[in-house]
Structure 1
Amino acid sequence: MSDHYSVVQIKPSPSQTKLLPAQKKFNTLIKNINKQRKLLLEWQEAMTQCQQQAVEKLEPLRKELGEYQAQLVLLLDQQFDSHKFTKNQQEKMCDLILELADVLIVEHQRVDLKPLFDKYSTESFDQLDQASDGLALDMLKELLEQQFGMTIDEADLDVHDIQATLDRLNQQFEQQVEQQEAQRATQRPKSRKSAKQVAKAAEETAEVENVSKSIQAVFRQLSSALHPDRELDPVERVRKTELMQQVTVAYSKKDLLKLLELQLVVEQIDQIQLDAIADTRLKHYNQVLESQLNELKAELAQQEMLGRDMISAPPFMPIVPKHLMTTLKYDIQGLRETILNVQRDLREFQDVKQLKAWLKDYQID
């Protein structure tokens, strides 16, 4: 994060004993925005690092584990057919084979193991999968109808892609709200607005325009000072081009704080000018900063939700970015230990006596 992020702050002028309310609010908003920026950057860096580690370490281990588990389930099938087992041992063998085959089919796409699953199951994998999807569909439909408060067509639901389902339903919900609002507007009796209402509406419109103009004014000042085509020095032209790119991005995002930071960087304004911002303009700045802060909070909530999903953290559990790497390290270590255990089972289960001895302690859930 750039060192100049914390520079933007209004200080009392020599003639002031304390800051005015609007100035205090400005400083508080700047402080909160910087705090949210820092936290958002930590989340983004943690997510990127975890995704890289997952690709480089976690996924290869998962693939390796799947290969050993496939060897194990085939070995168990071979031993089941080649030796005699008691009824209790057979039940345990069936349970273990079905559990392993299910994991391999679902998580490792080993559809070639479906016949093996069907061999030990009273119902085929596809029948059970269809029944499971049907149950999940009913539960999802009931849950989302309660959440959205509208009847949902099952054709719009996909239990295998919840995010796509939510995106689709959110769009439908917004359209429904717009249609209902439009219908109410046409049915609502038209009444003539009073002079006071007209004046208030005009004032609100003007306020929105003034807020927009405040950002535009800062953008124009920076654009005028940084236009690279007007610079003869090649080195300075490169610097101005880079700064102008930052200005353009900040303006497109309505990032007033970044624009003010850039004004300080290029010495277009100094601390004295910052301290003397007119109250009216400061009010407009505060409105822009409030909006910017809310957008950052929403983006941060989205990042936290993605991180929570990544480590399967329950909704009530507070999490911070460092939890991602800690959990990922535990997952990687857990996979390595599981691989060693499966490798040991592969060696020992070659001997049917050791397999039968192991089955004594195996419990069917």
Structure 2
Amino acid sequence: MSNAALQSLLMQPDAADPVLAMQQARFNALMRDVALWRAALAEWTERLARYQQAIEPVRRELHAAWRQWVFALDDASLQTGLTRAERAQLGELLRESIAALLAVEDDAEIAAVARRHEEGPSSVPSRQQAETDGAPSDDEPLEDLAPEWERQAAAAAAQRAERAATRRADTVSKRGRQAAQDASQSLRDVYRRLASALHPDRERDARQRERKTELMQEANRAYAEGNLPALLELRLQAEQVDAAHLAAADRRRVQHYVTVLQEQLVDLQSETRRLEAEFRAAAGLAPGSGLQPRKADRIISSEIQRLRGELLLLRRQTRVLRDVEALKRWLREQRKP
């Protein structure tokens, strides 16, 4: 609603009727609050759409790069010239990366790599065990190794990783379902109130019955689209909150308008806060409220830069895995405290 349209709907308090004047003042305050929260809801709706459009393509690129990282680690673990300790280090990196990927989505190819790198408590001998058994020490290269630890079926560590991944995936799924359920409930409540106000069988006047039937058709479309602002706007139309009717409104009618606006304000605040919470969760921010939509723009830009930086680093590290000497140097750097 434009500022001019809002001003045209504000009531001039009736000095001759203090009770009516108080109701009219309350009506005016609620109209302003509703307009402010409508604008906030529109801004958060736009910011969430912008976040998805800007961030999701980069996240898909990063997810693909993580998959290539896992395959590159898998290939690197089979190279000759690596010590047992270095292979164990690669295996640990693999399992961590695999768990993170499988927490996001099921992936048959990644799961197959995970099965090849299952590790039990005794699958990688310690230095003392190796020397006692006459086996190569951790620092001796295993040139022609067909790694026994790749074939062992002691899956305790892999099972723990799978359970952790399942718990993380369940948490994300539950949050998504709860957000969808909250949005659906809010929308349904507004729709029900609107449907009650527009019920054509309650209208004796043929012209009004036709008007309400048309509004109900619009309400059905808005509900099907999940368009809460449109439903709220239709509610005001259904209640005939317009300049002509406001001018002739008595105490009872003004109080009814106040009740309708109070309901709308609660709905707008609830939906706006839900969208803010959804944005915070998507951006990895702490739960809370009061974040200004304009600040979300900076967060989106910062998140894109961070993801692109991670993507470039991951691609650079993936290239390092192809050269044994570079790989060994990189592994030594990772072991430094």
Same fold (TM over 0.5): yes
Amino acid at match of 2:27: F
Instruction: State TM-score, norm by structure 2.
Output: 0.64
Instruction: Pick from 94, 97, 102 the counterpart of residue 97 of structure 1.
Output: 94
Which residue number corresponds to residue 224 of structure 1? 207
Report how far residue 286 of structure 1 moved. Answer: 1.2
Cα-Cα RMSD: 4.5
Partner of 1:101, secondary structure, is helix
Task: Note the alpha carbon deviations across 1:292-342, whole angstroms, 9 max, x for none.
Answer: 211222222222222222112111464233444433333333332223223
Which residue number corresponds to residue 146 of structure 2? none
Distance 1:72 1:331, change over 3 A: farther
Report how far residue 119 of structure 1 moved. Answer: 4.9
Which residue number corresponds to residue 137 of structure 2? none
In structure 1, C-alpha distance between the alignment counterparts of 2:196 and 2:331, rounded to whole Å: 76
> Are positions 1:106 and 2:103 aligned together?
yes
Distance 1:115 1:323, change over 3 A: farther
Distance 1:34 1:261, change over 3 A: farther
In structure 2, C-alpha distance between the alignment counterparts of 1:354 and 1:332, rounded to whole Å: 29
Which residue number corresponds to residue 28 of structure 2? 27
Which residue number corresponds to residue 69 of structure 1? 69
Report how far residue 43 of structure 1 moved. Answer: 1.2
Report how far residue 13 of structure 1 moved. Answer: 5.9
Distance 1:227 1:309, change over 3 A: same
Instruction: State TM-score, norm by structure 1.
Output: 0.60
In structure 1, C-alpha distance between the alignment counterparts of 2:21 and 2:196, rounded to whole Å: 23
Contact 1:8 1:260 in 2 (8 A): no
> Are positions 1:297 and 2:258 aligned together?
no
Report how far residue 77 of structure 1 moved. Answer: 1.4
In structure 1, C-alpha distance between the alignment counterparts of 2:318 and 2:306, rounded to whole Å: 18
Contact 2:20 2:251 in 1 (8 A): no
Number of aligned positions between the proteins: 279
Report how far residue 355 of structure 1 moved. Answer: 1.8
> Are positions 1:46 and 2:58 aligned together?
no
Partner of 2:78, secondary structure, is helix
In structure 2, C-alpha distance between the alignment counterparts of 1:59 and 1:261, rounded to whole Å: 47
Contact 1:214 1:281 in 2 (8 A): no
Which residue number corresponds to residue 58 of structure 1? 58
In structure 2, C-alpha distance between the alignment counterparts of 1:18 and 1:243, rounded to whole Å: 33
1:230-249 matched pairs, under 5 angstroms: none
Contact 2:277 2:288 in 1 (8 A): no
Question: Structure 2 regions of 5+ residues with no counterpart?
Answer: 124-153, 183-194, 223-228
Partner of 2:12, secondary structure, is coil
Q: Answer 1 or 2: higher relative contact order, Cα 8 Å, separation at least 6.
A: 1
Distance 1:214 1:52, change over 3 A: closer
Which residue number corresponds to residue 179 of structure 1? none
Distance 1:292 1:159, change over 3 A: closer
> Are positions 1:357 and 2:329 aligned together?
yes
Amino acid at match of 1:257: L
In structure 1, C-alpha distance between the alignment counterparts of 2:17 and 2:330, rounded to whole Å: 82
In structure 2, C-alpha distance between the alignment counterparts of 1:347 and 1:12, rounded to whole Å: 74
Question: Structure 1 regions of 5+ residues with no counterpart?
Answer: 138-157, 171-211, 229-240
Task: Note the alpha carbon deviations across 1:215-240, whole angstroms, 9 max, x for none.
Answer: 889x9699837958xxxxxxxxxxxx
Which residue number corresponds to residue 186 of structure 2? none
Report how far residue 352 of structure 1 moved. Answer: 1.9
The percentage of counterpart residues that share the same residue type is: 20
In structure 2, C-alpha distance between the alignment counterparts of 1:165 and 1:95, rounded to whole Å: 33
